[in-house]
Amino acid sequence: MQFPAELRYSREHEWVRVEDGAAVVGITDFAQDQLGDVVFVSLPAVGSKVAALEKMGEIESVKSVSELYSPVSGTVVEINQAAVDSPETINRDAYGEGWLLRVAMDGGLPDGLLSADEYRAVVGAE
């Protein structure tokens, strides 16, 4: 299971990468493994506001439906239509092609996001 050191993580199993001042957000490798095959993902519309630790969408796998929580606050500037159209991308490459959305943050990263080692400890992975 992968926990790239350059990313920050939320306890709700999302990852964040800051890129040109915007936050790129996705779900972690651990999350996609727990969910199993992802069949549907619902994301907020471009232009809408998201708030840290608040619900921003839903992800459905063959096992269950889970809520997606935004790890950051700001305005959605782009969503990954390829992941919406082919949700298997999220299983295949959660940190790369399976990214979900890009957010122009209000301020910087919120406090309380975890490092790779801290997140690894939270999910109890060896």
Partner 1 sequence: MNRRDDRLTFERSVPGRRGLGVPAPGVPEQEPLPGELRRAAPPGLPELSQAEVVRYYVGLGRLNYSIETGMYPLGSCTMKYNPKANDEVAGLSGFAGAHPLQPDELSQGVLEALWELQEALKALTGMAEATLCPAAGAQGELTGMLMVRAWHRGRGEDERRRKVLVPDSAHGTNPATAAMCGYQVVAVPTDPAGNMDMDGLRAALGDDVAGLMLTLPNTLGLWEQHILEIADAVHGAGALLYGDGANFNAIAGHVRPGDLGFDAMHVNVHKTFSTPHGGGGPGAGPVCCAAALAPFLPDPHIERRDGRLVRVRPERSIGRVGPGPGSVGVLLRAAAYLRTLGLDGIREMSAAAVLNANYLRVRLAATYDQPYDRPCMHEAVFSARALRRQGVRALDVAKRLIDYGFHPPTMYFPLIVEEALMIEPTESETKESLDAFAKAMHAIADEAATEPELLHDAPHDAPVGRLDEALAARRPVLRWTPEQSVVPAG
For residues 72 to 101, the per-residue mask of contacts with partner 1, x marking binding by CB under 8 A and - elsewhere, is ---------------xx-------------
Determine, following the binding rule CB under 8 A, whether residue 67 of this chain makes contact with partner 1: no
Q: Where are the beta strands (DSSP E) in the chain?
A: 8-9, 14-19, 22-27, 38-42, 49-50, 55-61, 65-69, 74-79, 101-105
Question: Which residues are paired to 103 by β-bridges?
Answer: 23, 76
**How many residues bind partner 1, per CB under 8 A?**
12
Q: Which residue number, 23 or 59, has a Cβ lying nearer to partner 1?
A: 59
Select the residue interacting with partner 1 from 12, 18, 39, 78 (CB under 8 A).
39
Q: Which residue number, 63 or 82, has a Cβ lying nearer to partner 1?
A: 63
Q: Which stretch binds partner 1 (CB under 8 A): 17-25, 32-40, 75-83, 95-103?
A: 32-40
The three-state secondary structure class of 63 is: coil
Determine, following the binding rule CB under 8 A, whether residue 36 of this chain makes contact with partner 1: yes
Select the residue interacting with partner 1 from 46, 63, 104, 108 (CB under 8 A).
63
CB 71 within 8 A of CB 45: no
Hey, CA dihedral for 90, 93, 94, 99, is it positive or negative?
negative
- Taking only Cα atoms into account, the Rg of the chain, rounded to an integer number of angstroms, comes to 13
Instruction: List residues binding partner 1 (CB under 8 A).
Output: 34, 36-40, 60, 62-64, 87-88
